[in-house]
Structure 1
Amino acid sequence: MNNTPSTEALNWRREKVFLLLAGFFLCAMTLLNVIGITRFIQLGPMALAVGVLPYPLTFLCTDLVSELYGKKRANFMVTVGLIMNLFVIAILWLGSLAPSVGAESMPPWQQLNLSSDVILPDGTVVAGTIELYQLIFACTSGAVVASMLAYMAAQYCDVYLFHFWKRLTRGKHLWLRNNLSTLVSQGVDSFTVITVTFGAAYLAGGISLNQLLVLMGSNYLFKMVVALADTLPLYAAVHYLRRYLHIKDDTHIAL
């Protein structure tokens, strides 16, 4: 019995898998920008912004798309993610410009009373009362801009290095191109996003150099551990998806 699907069914199967990978990629990016640095958590020796937790998934998705669909499709997905970043910034900015409702209609949680002066990530010193949205905007807008800059550098770097190592090893050693491309690109991402996000706060005295270095180190250590841990899932996914999508070894789906 011939188990090979028809051309139409196979194309639909391939597009569904790409949509799933792109969906996870964009969802992780959106979570990073929405929850960003609104909370820091302690994972062993690492102090992490909660928005960082889903971010390593983006590199796994990028590597899978690079391996199965090629460089052009991977770069296209990264570019769509960049457009989503710009969209998030635009919505945050418009929300900050819109006038608040009157005091009689204002819900009790819309304004916060601060017991002491607070230096926000953008270096602004806030005293007394601040609107909840403005606090969130100050905490996330700078992080989104930093994320966008780091995103452009890291994701395009990841796609380029993945295919560079693939050419150099003649399509062999998937673990090598996966780990080398991800470890380098995540280093670029970690140091860029922390520097841009907290640079103003550091100059204003709101965060010390030691705290800045701890954030950088923790950010990269977490991403490095996850990058190394995703090698086996990557191999399993590539093995299964090549069979499911009928892709021969060392080739990818032509656009």
Structure 2
Amino acid sequence: MTLRDKLAAQRIYILLGALFITSLVVSNLIFQKFFYWYPFDVEIFGSKLFEISVGILPYPITFLITDLISEIYGKKRANDVVVVGIFASIFSLLIIFMADAVPATSWSYVKDDMFNTVFGNSMIAVFASMLTYLFAQFVDIQVYHFWKRLTKGKHLWIRNNFSTWFSQFVDTFTIITLLCSFGIIEWENYKGLIISGFLFKVFIAIIDTPFLYLGVYLFRKRFHLKINEELDLL
């Protein structure tokens, strides 16, 4: 690979990492708003199907990006992005803590109680999310590369969907359990939110499969990669 190609590959890797971190941090900040996505008017354990947090909307993007990085750049580069995401979450947590601690002026449009209502629980959410996210993302990468080795780089849809489904179940079960334990969500919504959250993520994983195929195709065409060949940025 030429020096020009390596520089282009590095720039794309940085861009993917930035999208990953942005999606992760934003999902932690907006999680307290819930909405009802209503293609089906069905109730499960007292909660409507797809009555879910808006934090779920950007979160599946992180799994699509790590799958793309895993496929093109390899397991180590995917793990590196996950670790950087953890540091970004910790840093955002510190910023929120400082912003919540300083008193608002008398003329401030956003008062202390309003800020605390919106962002106060984010400290708990980020902590809970970091635990689940760290585990789920590493699970996703491990399962992805297990299927990649097993299929010898073929059948991309298998490793994309199987790794995402399994890791998203781990993520959904753990985060909802922690948020209910911290008192942010009522236990009466527990079962319904787990099922709704997981099914929604499965639905998104199926939808994003063509985008992963497109991304892998463009990478292989741009950098002249063979099936199961990965980019070396060193």
In the superposition, the TM-score normalised over structure 2's length comes to 0.89
Contact 1:13 1:245 in 2 (8 A): no
2:215 is equivalent to residue 220 of structure 1: no
Cα deviation 1:172-203 (Å, max 9, x = unaligned): 2111111111100011111111111121328x
Aligned counterpart in structure 2 of residue 60 of structure 1, from 60, 64, 71: 64
Cα deviation 1:142-172 (Å, max 9, x = unaligned): 1111111111110011111111111122222
Contact 2:29 2:119 in 1 (8 A): no
User: Structure 2, unaligned stretches of length 5 or more?
Assistant: 39-48
2:17 matched residue in structure 1 = 22
Cα distance between partner residues in 2 of 1:74 and 1:163: 11
Deviation at 1:216, TM superposition (A): 1.3
Contact 1:48 1:215 in 2 (8 A): yes
2:121 is equivalent to residue 88 of structure 1: no
2:114 is equivalent to residue 110 of structure 1: no
| Higher alpha-carbon deviation: 149-158 or 240-249 | 240-249
Cα distance between partner residues in 2 of 1:178 and 1:231: 7
Contact 1:154 1:185 in 2 (8 A): yes
2:153 is equivalent to residue 153 of structure 1: no
Contact 2:50 2:196 in 1 (8 A): yes
1:207 matched residue in structure 2 = 186
Deviation at 1:97, TM superposition (A): 2.7
- SS of 1:172's partner is coil
- For the structure 1 residues 244 and 216, does the alpha-carbon distance in structure 2 shift closer, same or farther, using more than 3 Å as the test? same
Cα distance between partner residues in 1 of 2:196 and 2:104: 41
Contact 1:147 1:193 in 2 (8 A): yes
Cα distance between partner residues in 2 of 1:63 and 1:177: 9
Contact 1:33 1:88 in 2 (8 A): no
Q: CA RMSD in A?
A: 1.7
- For the structure 1 residues 21 and 109, does the alpha-carbon distance in structure 2 shift closer, same or farther, using more than 3 Å as the test? closer
Q: Percent identity?
A: 38
